Structure 1
């Protein structure tokens, strides 16, 4: 007896782009299942409390559902509520807290292997983002319990010495919030300045607090070791020992390349380790397996966001339904990587 196809499409990743893919697939008469090893929009749950999105509401919308909010730029909590309501309104088939471990079968008859069983499908869309895998420092003490790669809120650190490693948006925001919550933040920056990519309404605030001496910063410096009480760094003036009751190593994140390899998706030998895919169709080296969202950029995690990655859903769904692919707005055309 031939194998029963449980779903036409399995979407791996229940973030905004993964949800958008399932919506567009269902609207074309195909069945879809959305898998995630964590919660619904798990990455947004991991964002700092009351974090402000960099985009306005209309740029975060999926499936044509309006994103109502009283804020010019929505907060994390607004996003959590919005994407939950959209998923329920579209009656998406969600299987959360179910980790995918592999992919078996052949084009048109795949089996997505999870910790809880197997799901048969014709097509697979991988929309796993990058927020779950930090860029580790690889220094002694990085695994101590007071060291984390995710910042949530500052209130537990009042009257405490806190070291922040990094100089981009997450680090800048954390340093400012920690200062205003009564902590003593110190930043360790590998480069010679605060990153120019820090948002325009955050960077001047941070630079002024540094100029005032309220936030201390060590530029052109690297972490050598973390102990239960200190962070040992190398600076242009020599070694320094910084008191630290808590350490935020906010050094960025990258896609889970091991997971992609477990599925059979290869990567290109470029600096970004770009997962192999056709820039026009988003199909990977595995026929019938597609990429959507940030994961398409590999280490270039600033190439795709919710606001442009959501269009991948339309491209893939149209292809699976045998329709002509919609033309992306020019500003959203993917960059061709050599």
Structure 2
């Protein structure tokens, strides 16, 4: 009989719920223990002229890599150094300008403890994140962050589960405290994530996406209806911009206007741009964020916004398709 045949669905769900309850309890108990030591750790990092060097073995190492990444993306320069590799040369990455954040639930990791005396001799401040306040790691540290848990979620009480959850959460708490102390903003986060959705929204400007030059469909006030249609078809923006001799925006004529005009039954051949254009089209500046153009389109229920300068001179145009192609929306 296979293991799958013995599978008890109800027991699996019960075990999962129990694991979540244990880990939730571990986090709940972690909060009240934060105090002066946590504040001292944050102060050490804020005063650091170099980087936060995160170290940890095994599961603590995996958590450490995530903490280093979170710190780096929220305004605190950080990197992960494997303790085993540090003992064989990588310790040269650590300078006296750095702060070391060392993770070990037991506080007795051989690879980590082997390099602690060297770090002390270098004068590098050490922040320990450990579940044992009397461990070797804690005794070598300048600041100790207590990540102890009452029990692991593993029913065998062997696999690091609740303890690594506590480490992860404590690392996030430190990153959030530092982010706030630095005055880190959405724009700063976006600069660290230029390829993400937030980065595209906060770093992409209208000038980066707008059509300009010969790509703009524009005609003069006295342009005939046929000339205007040719310009709209050639530029494929779904509109024609009506401008004066100095390229000042006077109005716009869109595909929607054309549909309504055809439905009205008027004689189109006799019309000029000045007869059918809409005055006061929606405009935006080139330096505005692309997401602002998207908001304008949504509010006005339009699919195209003209880009003008302070003198209302036509600079470009940006469409909803441009925003979608750039994944701004």
Q: Calculate the TM-score normalised by the size of structure 2.
A: 0.21
Larger radius of gyration: 2
More helix by share: 2
Which one scores higher on RCO, CA 8 angstroms, separation ≥ 6? 1
More strand by share: 1
